[in-house]
Copies of this chain bind each other. A is one copy, B any other.
């Protein structure tokens, strides 16, 4: 069960060139490619002639040519060339999907095309703001997408899953002040770890005097979680509202359901310090990447167990944000089911 009428990340700009890229999104096979004009298109990854995935084809100008018998399709999915014959049957057309490229991300709309409104795509200015440097990649987690949201909305896991990397003191996370709020399209959580030890990753990027006040803001809307995190010397006013002169990080977590058992995870890390230090750049990226591997292990093991044993679970206090996020998704899916129901129409 997925929200259909929503923008999902289908790729990062650097991934999609003239060589077709295959992705399965909401269980639908999609092929993404960049036409000669620079525009990215997304088509059903299945030629209408013999069913070959078009991922094996080649982009020629604005067309995608099938790798089996050479049928060529334009960006709208219409077949415009069949080798060896003049007439093109009206049925020779495949599905195309609305695509928008924004903030170095390729956003796709899998639902009713009439409802695709580019203005509803989340903003992620840190991919284009020159005051920030970022690096990102796409990874696949073999787990249900809901588990990825749970993971991100309850960061008390950081002290356990990531204790050797970004964890710091488990108690600091568990005892952090936490406030959860519903927003227009999602959920906002803020956690403060006051007077705590900065984790190794932080210290590598910034020269703190000693202990720090650390903040973690979680901005959830269906399709993505944006984390605004950072730290400043303890007592230096961050908690009161002035984060200037501290370390700031932005991590994007765009979550795109692939199948019931797998999810694309597009993530990036952006920082506002030492922008030109390429060493720090790579080092921070590798460190964050290591934490994703830690999460991947946990999420995939959890997914397998819950598939095998879907018995009820016990919520704890730290789940407040995750529970809200699940509610937002459930409501959106329910709304769509009502709209689609023939008895209503």
Residues of A at the B interface (CB closer than 8 Å) are 29, 45-46, 48-53, 55-56, 65-71, 82-85, 89, 91-92, 150, 154, 156-157, 159-161, 170-171, 173-176, 297-298, 301-302, 305-306, 308-309, 313-318
Partner of A50, one of B51, B56, B313: B313
Contact in complex: A70, B170 (CB < 8 Å): yes
Chain B residues whose C-beta falls within 8 Å of the C-beta of A306 in the assembled complex: 51
Q: Are A52 and B298 in contact (CB under 8 A)?
A: yes
Contact A83 B171 (CB under 8 A): yes
Contacts of A309 in B (CB 8 A): 29, 46, 51
Residue of B45, B68, B318 near A160 (CB, 8 A) is B68
Contacts of A51 in B (CB 8 A): 302, 305-306, 309, 313
Return chain B residues, CB-CB under 8 Å to A175: 83-84
A72 to chain B, nearest CB (A): 11
In the bound complex, do residue B314 and residue A68 qualify as a contact, i.e. CB atoms below 8 Å apart? no
CA distance A56 to B295 in the complex (A): 12
Q: A298 near B56 (CB under 8 angstroms)?
A: yes
With A68-B302, A305-B29 already in contact, the answer to whether A316 and B56 are too (CB < 8 A) is no
Task: Find chain B residues with CB under 8 A from A160 CB.
Answer: 65-70
| Nearest-Cβ distance from residue A334 to partner chain B, whole angstroms | 24
4 additional contacts (CB under 8 A) given A49-B316, A83-B318: A53-B301, A68-B161, A70-B159, A70-B160
Known A46-B309, A83-B159, A84-B174; contact A53-B314, beta-carbon cutoff 8 A: no
Nearest 10 CB-CB pairings of A with B: A83-B174, A84-B174, A85-B317, A51-B306, A52-B302, A48-B314, A70-B160, A92-B314, A51-B305, A91-B314
- Chain B residues near A68: list those with CB within 8 A: 157, 160-161, 298, 302
Q: In the complex where A29-B305, A52-B301 touch, is A318 in contact with B156 (Cβ < 8 A)?
A: no
**A53 close to B84 (CB less than 8 A):** no
| Bound form: Cα–Cα A173–B318 in Å | 66
A157 to chain B, nearest CB (A): 5
For A84, the chain B residues whose CB sits under 8 A away are 156, 173-176, 316-318
CB-defined A-B contacts under 8 Å, sample of 11: A46-B309, A49-B313, A51-B306, A53-B302, A56-B301, A66-B160, A68-B157, A68-B161, A83-B156, A83-B173, A84-B176
